[in-house]
Amino acid sequence: MVVNVKADAPIFHNPLSFFYLLFVLPSDASNASIGSGDGTGEDDDDSNSKKNQKKRGIFPKVATNILRAWLFQHLTHPYPSEDQKKQLAQDTGLTILQVNNW
């Protein structure tokens, strides 16, 4: 596999730096658009196929921040116990299933 890298692209010596940039610094998800369209609402797919697709939920920013904080505190073993999942669900206002799927 060949990867093209720009000459001015940052080089990450610490893998956590890259992880931080990917998951902690992204802009507010409520302002981001999902998909690659031009925002007109007109896509090449017919409208029936869109109705059959699942709607992707976006968690509240506070909930995402709590989950990310937990993840960074447990990077060596990022698998919460059942009690930790219950606590995370209670702290975030999400269901245990949502915590499991995140």
Name all domains of the chain by residue range, CATH numbers in brackets.
57-102 (1.10.10.60)
Give the list of residues 6+ apart from residue 98 with CB closer than 8 angstroms, or none. Answer: 59, 89
Instruction: Give the ranges where the chain is alpha helix by DSSP (H).
Output: 15-23, 47-52, 61-73, 82-92, 96-101
Residue 55 has a pLDDT of 72
Show pLDDT as tens, one digit a residue, over the chain (102 residues): 555 555 555 555 555 555 555 566 555 444 444 444 455 555 555 556 666 677 777 889 999 999 999 999 999 999 999 999 999 999 999 999 999 998
